[in-house]
Structure 1
Amino acid sequence: MDSEQDNPMSSATDAHRHHGDHPQRSLTAHHTTLNIEGMSCASCTGRVERALIALPGVEAASVNLATGRAEVTHSAAVSAEALAQTVTAKGYPAAPRAADADPHADHMHHDEDAATLRRNFLIALALTLPVFILEMGGHIVPALHHWLYMTIGTQPVWLAEMVLTAIVLAFPGRVFFRIGIPALLRAAPEMNSLVALGAGAAFLYSSVVTLAPALLPESARHVYFEAAAVIVTLILLGRWLEARAKGQAGAAIRRLVELAPDHAVVLRDGVEARIAVADLRPGDLVRLAPGERVAVDGQITEGHGLIDESMLTGEPVPVAKTAGDPVTGGTVNGNAALTYRVTATGADTALARIVRMVEDAQAAKLPVQALVDQITRVFVPVVIGLAILTFALWLIFGPGLAPAFVAAVAVLIIACPCAMGLAVPVSIMVGTGRGAELGVLFRRGDALQRLAEARIVAFDKTGTLTQGAPALTAMATDGMAEDEALRLTAAAEARSEHPLAAALVKAARDRGLTLPEASGVTANAGRGLSAEVEGQRLLIGNRRALEETGIDLAPALIDRANAWSANGATPVHLAVDGRHVAAFALADPIREGSASIIAALHGLGIETVMISGDTQATADAVGRQLGIDRVIGGVLPDGKLKAVREMGKGSVFVGDGINDAPALAAADTGIAIGTGTDVAIESADAVLIGGDPAGVATAIRLSRSVMRNIRQNLFWAFAYNAALIPVAMGALVPFGGPQLSPMLGAGAMALSSVFVVSNALRLTRAP
């Protein structure tokens, strides 16, 4: 097996991998992340993307509505500042995200947005309620209507409504006009433009009725101040609830970020001092008190105790640590006082890399997003066109100007593409966060979609389905106690560097056996070795080694050895003073739970394959024990690559070693065991942090749940618009059906976004 790293996330993770028909990034390309404000719907993200891609030197750009970020690949000729200025010029304030940015900052963003929107909603609500009561109360309670207009008068009531509505639009609702009107003037209307047009038109029309009624026929003298105010208030409510839900969607990352403590006790020049974790430097000595969280990655220099690494591996059993062992930031110390030397800080720690991995996956676009982008690109202009058509048709065929105006405003308000823009990214955000909690890190967000389509999963054997190192799995003796046979054998093998010898020595030491000195140790390549221990002549090796020296084989031991061979183990025989006395079975033990993961994949309707460099017979024996559908043995690294390519579409490869990297890259989805090598992790689309292959089934179930959730969101987002736009236009009126009012349209539009985000939040309980 290839060498393993102590730190499961020790590789840099910002280099993305591409295979198949995925776009290939230039080797000289730069990558910039922009934080963008003011985006509210899918048309916003599409506009920002097109503006960035239009810049000379920009190779690719992906904008995510849920995270408020743009990931841009560009040449050195384009600066990050130029990218930010381009986006800002489109009406969306943007700034490059610093490489050393505070990891808490992004995750506080939605909370701050939610607080601002809550305040604006409450102000709007306080101002809108009197307008609503003044105008609609009279329709509900006719006596109130007569009393108001008889005692106060129509004109004063309308003036009061106009003033209150103007305040609503000018202060809590000004965001719609500040962003929407400039976008409209640039001939690039978006969601805010629809709200600004709808609410603004209702306000202006009502103001003309109030201040200059003579300009309109008497039948058209109706005011709609309550519609303008309620539209803004309901949409602010929807955005507040949406921002709160987005904050919950990012809770997984927030919990990861908050695992690291803020302060640590450092030992400098023999003096202890409590300092901020941000001020720690590699080489610092840190005191770790019992029950305290490890601040950053390091290596223990003093003490021994147990560390709870469940946040990293998912394993509930604490891990024993002593001098020289690594510790990871965010893990929890047990009851011992320890000292460790800092080896990594800030963005270089395992925890920071895990957070960055999840963030990168959350910012990715799935292939299914392309359909949404194509539709929303033309959606808002089409809606404005439909509103104009509705106004014209109602003016021609309807009862007058006022109903025509109401229908047009209702179309503008009901058709907001917010839900469409959120349908995919919010599900990705929640799904990848849930994956991190379950120990599955998606290095690329689009792996979610490909993994959901998996039909065949291939495993590397050594180190993935097995433990990766030989161990003593069985032994048999003839005329000698087991411990005595093992003690003598291990004494001779202690002088050998062969992996099988190491397994025998370890087995003896695990039994607490004391090993005597061996002399005259002579190795015979391909056979075994001979030695003298405590005056006894030992011959240790395979069956041929004993036969060639004329030793009579013990039938019972040979029968046991043949049975072991049939099950994939390697038999090692011991002869003492010319007599065959013991046989040992050495094998790479199957990982606990490997059989259950194969069964789980079969339960998901997935074919399983095992690819191994071992002989076909050995590989077949392991495959039979695990219930694997197809076993491919005797495979070199290039053979693994060929085998994976022949699997075709829907292939998944799971591995951990350097020699697995080509196969991981060639598969539709590569999944690396987190305890494996850096190269394997870099080549994979997803990483199982704890090193347990059972995470493969978890990853597939989660990806299927995410894709099912996305399909649900897209259905409701599109069905909502497809069903309600004709109703708002008045398609049901000729048949005696209802016409949708602008207020109800605003409420339905706000609820559609909240529904999409709330549906995505169900993934926090997946799979």
Structure 2
Amino acid sequence: MTHTYSVTGMSCSGCKARVEKALSSLPEVTAVIADVQKAEAVIEMSAHIPLEKLQETLNSAGLHYTLAVRESVSNNHAHTHVPKIPVKPGNGIYYCPMHCEGDKTYDKPGDCPVCGMDLVEQPRLVSQQQYTCSMHPGVIKDAPGSCPVCGMDLIPLAPDESTEDKAYKDLAQKMKIALVFTVPVFIISMSDMFHNNPLSNVLSSQQCNWIQFILTLPVVFYTGWVFFVRAWKSFITWNLNMFSLIGIGTGVAFLFSITGLLLPDTFPDAFKTAHGTVHLYFESVAVILTLVLLGQLLEARAHSQTSGAIKQLLKMTPSEAILIQNGTDKVVSINNIAVGNLLRVKPGDKIPVDGIIKEGNSTIDESMITGEPIPVDKQQGDAVRAGTINGKKSFVMEAQKVGADTLLSQIIQMVQTASRSRAPIQKLADVIATYFVPTVILIAVSTFVLWAIWGPEPAYVYGFLNAVAVLIIACPCALGLATPMSVMVGIGKGAQAGILIKNAEALELMNKVNVLITDKTGTITEGKPSVYKLIVTPGNEEHELLQKIASLNQYSEHPLAAAIMEYAKAKNISLYDVHDFESLTGKGVAGTVD
């Protein structure tokens, strides 16, 4: 196979020869032809060689040339492209928030083929931090280290915006544009209701209609066009939904208004104003599309908040770990940890993966899993969990479960699954929605027929206008959104508060709960121990006893000792010197005071 790379830095035939010699040293390379004029190197290889390996080969030979994949060549000038690995905040799996097709997922963003709603991306189960060089942003690694080009230390790469954040910002921008055009249309349309209508002194009725038409165009063909696309898809697939009614209602009203603007003589005098113009509905089209867009904006905001709750859980897992390799410590990405690796956990660090302690001992704060406020003493052979926090001692652990297999990842998976689960009441809403749209369309047609037969003249025009009114007013936005959004927001808020809800059915049943029984004090307290009261037996003085107890605990790292020291500090207790101090793991402390 042959690949062409751009080489930045070659200036003479000597540079060309050095590049060819260095790259030819690789066993996979069968031929190298460098060109100074084109600033490129054509490499023939028996097996694919990563760009990083080629760059490291040049650097090892003392050649500080930058290698990159050649994108295109034109006019003898090289256009280079340094490949950049996109940071994926999610895992590339998308699902419909309405769950129209159950648990079916998609591998790319878009609209649900059934209901037309924007697909939502699942967050990654394992947080992945990438690193880049401040001097060469094209260099991106999955683990910290040095830049293969210049040797500088790599710095953490800020993650890109999530899909939900981008969707929200896009909708927010469209909402601003829609308001800019919709508000003037609404004001012009309502001006007839003002006393003496100040606009009539400046603009004629026909001019006002043309202005409304022009201002409505961006709302219909830009900010609200997606709703017509979704409506069209719903009729093609015959999966009728709320966008079906929105598309028909606003579309017909818009076409009616254009006809009334351009061909007013086709309408009877009963539909005309005193100025001879037809009553148009541009403001109805613009306002309805803007209100639906507002609903989509609020929905995207809710998705972003729920996704943010899951991301807060992801932050409990560190992005790096200290790997013990050949007797030396090496900082690696958490994604590079394999089962059986030995990891060093320093005081105050988060446990990177699930495993057991091989050397040393410490106290571990496991409140994020157990709810218990007091850290647990851990000895050699004891299990430790990812996301829990080490105390004030260092130890060596062996990785046993990594990535999506850790307990924390399973908790995050449970939250994701719960947010996608369907509440029993949602089944009723789905059944109603199935018949609702065809029923509304049938009522609209019936309205037109009844007005055409028994309505006053002009009967057909009256029938047409009332049929359009039925389609617009009957839009079931709340029916389709209320239950799924309630489930998503409820479970997301629960996750933020540390409450994990198993599924939507459990959330619905909570409405019937009137008694809460808890067996863990840590779930209803501050989450850390404190001294409530000191009880002194006869013959002892409280001040003196507290002074001795606090003096002995001043050298202990145990959380109970910290609570005693806080209590003594509040009482302004002075401390004694302590001799022969000893910490007895799991039993307490001992020493000589005074």
TM-score interval (norm. to shorter):
0.5 to 0.7
Match of 1:561 in 2: none
Give yes or no for contact 1:398–1:404 (8 Å, CA) kept in 2. Answer: no
C-alpha distance after superposition, 1:629-681 (max 9, x if no partner): xxxxxxxxxxxxxxxxxxxxxxxxxxxxxxxxxxxxxxxxxxxxxxxxxxxxx
Cα separation, partners in 2 of 1:214 and 1:434, compared to 1, 3 Å: closer
* Aligned ranges 1:32-181 → 2 under 5 Å: 35-36=94-95, 48-49=100-101, 62=102, 70-71=103-104, 88=113, 108-140=162-194, 142-149=196-203, 153-181=204-232
Q: 2:393 is paired with a residue of what secondary structure?
A: coil
2:198 is equivalent to residue 198 of structure 1: no
* Aligned ranges 1:273-352 → 2 under 5 Å: 273-352=330-409
* Aligned ranges 1:489-528 → 2 under 5 Å: none
Give yes or no for contact 2:94–2:119 (8 Å, CA) kept in 1. Answer: yes
Give yes or no for contact 2:386–2:407 (8 Å, CA) kept in 1. Answer: yes
Cα separation, partners in 2 of 1:90 and 1:241, compared to 1, 3 Å: closer
Match of 1:397 in 2: 455
Match of 1:241 in 2: 298
Give the distance between the partners of 1:102 and 1:336, measured in 2 at CA. 26
Q: 2:351 is paired with a residue of what secondary structure?
A: coil
* Aligned ranges 1:714-729 → 2 under 5 Å: none
* 2:358 maps to amino acid: T
Give yes or no for contact 1:209–1:216 (8 Å, CA) kept in 2. Answer: yes
Q: Indicate the larger mover: 404-413 or 163-172.
A: 404-413
Give yes or no for contact 1:298–1:328 (8 Å, CA) kept in 2. Answer: yes
Aligned-residue Cα RMSD (Å) equals 4.2
Deviation at 1:378, TM superposition (A): 0.4
Give yes or no for contact 2:114–2:239 (8 Å, CA) kept in 1. Answer: no
Give the distance between the partners of 2:384 and 2:184, measured in 1 at CA. 61
Q: Indicate the larger mover: 284-293 or 386-395.
A: 386-395
* 1:120 maps to amino acid: K
Deviation at 1:356, TM superposition (A): 1.2
Cα separation, partners in 2 of 1:290 and 1:190, compared to 1, 3 Å: same
Q: Give the TM-score, by structure 1 length.
A: 0.45
Give the distance between the partners of 1:356 and 1:183, measured in 2 at CA. 32
Give yes or no for contact 1:314–1:438 (8 Å, CA) kept in 2. Answer: no
Match of 1:425 in 2: 484
* 2:416 maps to amino acid: E
Cα separation, partners in 2 of 1:407 and 1:264, compared to 1, 3 Å: farther
Cα separation, partners in 2 of 1:416 and 1:266, compared to 1, 3 Å: farther
- Aligned pair count reads 394
Deviation at 1:247, TM superposition (A): 3.1
Give the distance between the partners of 1:227 and 1:397, measured in 2 at CA. 24
Deviation at 1:404, TM superposition (A): 5.0
* 1:266 maps to amino acid: L
Match of 2:436 in 1: 379
C-alpha distance after superposition, 1:35-81 (max 9, x if no partner): 235x7xx6xx5xx43xxxxxxxxxxxx2xxxxxxx258xxxxxxx99
Deviation at 1:318, TM superposition (A): 1.6
Give yes or no for contact 1:250–1:429 (8 Å, CA) kept in 2. Answer: no
Q: 1:171 is paired with a residue of what secondary structure?
A: helix
Give yes or no for contact 2:123–2:311 (8 Å, CA) kept in 1. Answer: no
Which of these residues, 492, 499, 505, is aligned with residue 446 of structure 1?
505
C-alpha distance after superposition, 1:508-553 (max 9, x if no partner): x9799xxxxxxxxxxxxxxxxxxxxxxxxxxxxxxxxxxxxxxxxx
Match of 1:189 in 2: 240
Give the distance between the partners of 1:121 and 1:453, measured in 2 at CA. 39
Give the distance between the partners of 1:398 and 1:114, measured in 2 at CA. 48
Give the distance between the partners of 1:409 and 1:241, measured in 2 at CA. 27
2:338 is equivalent to residue 265 of structure 1: no
Cα separation, partners in 2 of 1:511 and 1:385, compared to 1, 3 Å: closer
Deviation at 1:108, TM superposition (A): 4.1
Cα separation, partners in 2 of 1:410 and 1:250, compared to 1, 3 Å: farther
Q: 2:424 is paired with a residue of what secondary structure?
A: coil
* 2:166 maps to amino acid: E
Give the distance between the partners of 1:272 and 1:399, measured in 2 at CA. 90
Q: 1:273 is paired with a residue of what secondary structure?
A: strand
* 1:129 maps to amino acid: V
Give the distance between the partners of 1:264 and 1:291, measured in 2 at CA. 13
Q: Give the TM-score, by structure 2 length.
A: 0.57
Percent identity, aligned pairs only? 36
* 1:284 maps to amino acid: N
2:286 is equivalent to residue 229 of structure 1: yes
Gaps in structure 1 of 5+ consecutive residues: 1-32, 50-61, 63-69, 73-79, 458-508, 513-767
Give the distance between the partners of 1:100 and 1:250, measured in 2 at CA. 12
Give the distance between the partners of 2:253 and 2:340, measured in 1 at CA. 66
Deviation at 1:225, TM superposition (A): 0.9
Give yes or no for contact 1:183–1:193 (8 Å, CA) kept in 2. Answer: yes
Give the distance between the partners of 2:507 and 2:119, measured in 1 at CA. 28
Give the distance between the partners of 1:403 and 1:266, measured in 2 at CA. 78
Cα separation, partners in 2 of 1:249 and 1:398, compared to 1, 3 Å: farther
* Aligned ranges 1:15-30 → 2 under 5 Å: none
Give the distance between the partners of 1:383 and 1:351, measured in 2 at CA. 48
Cα separation, partners in 2 of 1:141 and 1:124, compared to 1, 3 Å: farther
Deviation at 1:385, TM superposition (A): 2.0
Cα separation, partners in 2 of 1:337 and 1:411, compared to 1, 3 Å: farther
Give the distance between the partners of 1:310 and 1:111, measured in 2 at CA. 31
* Aligned ranges 1:586-605 → 2 under 5 Å: none
Match of 2:268 in 1: 217
Give the distance between the partners of 1:133 and 1:456, measured in 2 at CA. 53
Match of 1:544 in 2: none
Deviation at 1:440, TM superposition (A): 6.2
Cα separation, partners in 2 of 1:184 and 1:267, compared to 1, 3 Å: same
